[in-house]
A and B are shown apart, each in its own frame.
Chain A
Amino acid sequence: MIRIENVSLSHQATPILHNISLTIPKGGVTALVGPNGAGKSSLLSLVARLQPLQTGAISIDGLPVDTTSNRTLAKIAAILRQDSVVASRLRVRELVGFGRFPHNRGRLNETDRAIIEQSLDQFDLADLAGRFVDTLSGGQRQRALVAMAFCQGTDYLLLDEPLNNLDMYYARDLMRSLRQVADENGKTVVIVLHDINMAGAYADRIVAMKGGRVIADGAPTEMLTTPVLQDVFGFAMQVATINGKPIVLHHL
């Protein structure tokens, strides 16, 4: 369980997050949605200890993120930042393999190797495993980064806009993979999404943020309604129902 209590954050004098309290239970896929600048990435980076907590408390499985050792947390939660840049010339298999670092500190054993191969397969990277990351397309590189986070083998996966650069095929594929690891391996996935229909189709719960606050929170069917979405995104959008599921026609 991720427990966020009264967390506020400001950069210099600019407030970013206002007194956020949120509990994300273990298991399932939780989507963070909201307009640009809502504070989604900031909240995720606080949970992932990438920046220091200013006020409030955050714990994962009861371990406070600000006082628990980095090594311990790296075995519990993996983070993929938005727009991660890999400037290193690493082969895909090597990059994904570094996901095992928290467990083996650099010495790969047979278990590690098996997990690496499984991660490569899961994200359809087996054919690219010997390629240097800097020779891949943006979408392929994004998949390699997600595979690396998956390879870390943590109970919690924190993903900041992982669908960036992915085409329709791989965006759907990634969401299905995440759904699968949540359902079959009991992983907890927290994912920042801009595609509200992806959130509606694959998440168990949608948390909407705006202006540094959580302004709505619930199951997709409760969240994907015209009034809620208008509150969050600031314009009225039609919501259709296809096969009993809400589909947001936000582009019209």
Chain B
Amino acid sequence: MIAAAAKKPLRLGVIASLGLAILFVLSLFVGVSDLPFGTALSDPDALQLLLVSRLPRTLAAVLAGAGLAIAGLIMQTLARNRFVEPATAGTAQSAELGILAATLLWPGATLAMKTLVASGAALLGTSIFFMTAHRLPPSQPFLVPLFGLVYGGVIGAGVTFIAWQANLLQYLAIWTNGDFSGVLRGRYELLWVAALMVALAWFVADRLTIMALGRDASIGLGLDYAGMMRIGLIIVSVIAALNVVVVGMIPFVGLVVPNIVSRLMGDNLRGTIKWVALSGAGLVLGCDIIGRLIRYPYEIPVGTVMGVVGGTLFLWLLFRRPAHG
């Protein structure tokens, strides 16, 4: 029985890896400009298209997806609640507030500087969320996501108001609805910082698993609870801010991916965190490919596609009988 239990995640992992590899290759060859499979490497124009547009776009989707899934996982771990994610609990909205403020007050700032400001704002907003969430009674698990929705909604409304006043609503639409169509070489590389954050999360996976057991258990096991909380908040905030600034926020990834992986493989993050990252990457990449194909040659932004796909997955998670064993 134990051997079977160990084999199941492995098989799922192989399927997930293979799926991502197929999507990756598919993504390189799906788009408005024709890129025949055979000539991609021999034809200089085709190679140019591949290196300047398709590969960056594909990598951006992989990095954004892996990052968002990990950010959602960490947020759920720190909140000890499976229904929170950066897109709905104030992190993304705070990051939007940050980049809006940077755009208004410091128009000359580079993208990296704006990301830094957005990360700082996200960190502040997420910290306030957690300070409040930890005071809510644990007997009412749905209060935390509800509070997150309201909190994120209030900040989001403030952001919309300021953007409207300042005639920046178009920018806001870019930050709030994820879209990879503008990704070219030279415009997405900041997202590699998200990969660093994912690596950091992997490095502290055991500690995160313990954090999920709660504050008392963490301290009892000699963990620096406050320090780990800070590391977690930084990972979540930086990943959310990077996504908002570089490609726009993509909803649901952080919510559904960690939940599905937890259902299938459990919560021992040392073993599962790589599958969370991989599945997040696959989901976002898959949705981006769907968005490119559904009304070809026009595109539907990945944020919109994810709204439909992610929402459906979330409902399936809610209505499916809890997994046992």
Q: Which residues does A use to contact B, with CB under 8 Å?
A: 45, 48-50, 70-75, 78-81, 84-91, 94, 98-99, 101-102, 105-106, 129-132, 135, 149, 152
Contact = CB atoms under 8 A, between A and B. Distances in A.
B138 interface: yes
Interface residues of B, number: 29
A84 B138 contact: no
Nearest to A101: B221
Contacts of A99: 221
Contact of A88 (B1, B213, B263): B213
Contacts of B219: 48-50, 70
Given A88-B267, A101-B223, 5 more contacts: A71-B222, A89-B263, A91-B5, A101-B206, A132-B324
A50 B270 contact: no
B222 A74 contact: yes
Nearest to B261: A89
A90 B266 contact: yes
Given A85-B138, A88-B212, A106-B206, A130 B221 contact: no
B39 interface: no
Contacts of B216: 45, 50, 79, 81, 84
B224 interface: yes
B274 interface: no
B29 to A, nearest CB: 38
Given A81-B216, A84-B217, A102-B222, A89 B266 contact: yes
A250 B5 CA distance: 47
A245 to B, nearest CB: 34
Interface-centre pick from A70, A75, A91, A152 (highest chain B CB count, 10 A) = A70
A94 B223 contact: no
Contacts of B221: 74, 98-99, 101-102, 152
Nearest to A49: B219
B2 interface: yes
B31 to A, nearest CB: 40
Nearest to A74: B222
A105 B222 CA distance: 9
Contacts of B304: none
A154 to B, nearest CB: 10
Nearest to A70: B222
Interface of B: 1-2, 5, 80, 138, 206-207, 209-210, 212-217, 219-224, 262-263, 266-268, 270, 324-325
Contacts of B5: 91, 130
17 contacts: A48-B220, A50-B216, A73-B222, A78-B220, A79-B220, A81-B216, A84-B216, A85-B138, A87-B80, A88-B213, A98-B221, A101-B210, A106-B270, A129-B2, A130-B2, A130-B5, A135-B324
6 cross-chain pairs, A with B, having the tightest CB-CB distances, nearest first: A74-B222, A106-B206, A88-B267, A102-B222, A71-B222, A89-B266
A165 to B, nearest CB: 17
A75 B1 CA distance: 33
A65 to B, nearest CB: 11
Contacts of A129: 2
A85 B214 contact: yes
A128 to B, nearest CB: 11
Contacts of B266: 88-91, 94, 132
B153 to A, nearest CB: 26
A175 B197 CA distance: 46
Nearest to B3: A130
Nearest to A93: B2
Contacts of B1: 130
A141 B23 CA distance: 41
B209 A90 contact: yes
A87 B322 CA distance: 13
Contacts of A73: 222
Contacts of B262: 89
A27 to B, nearest CB: 21
A106 B270 CA distance: 9
A99 B2 CA distance: 21
B209 A98 contact: yes
Interface-centre pick from A78, A87, A135 (highest chain B CB count, 10 A) = A87
Contacts of B206: 98, 101, 105-106
A89 B209 CA distance: 10
A75 B221 CA distance: 8
A89 B216 CA distance: 18
A46 to B, nearest CB: 12
Contacts of A71: 222
A50 B214 CA distance: 11
Nearest to B205: A106
Interface-centre pick from A80, A89, A102, A135 (highest chain B CB count, 10 A) = A89
Contacts of A131: 325
B39 to A, nearest CB: 48
Given A88-B267, A91-B266, A101 B222 contact: yes
Given A88-B267, A90-B267, A90-B268, A132 B220 contact: no
A70 B2 contact: no
B267 A89 contact: yes
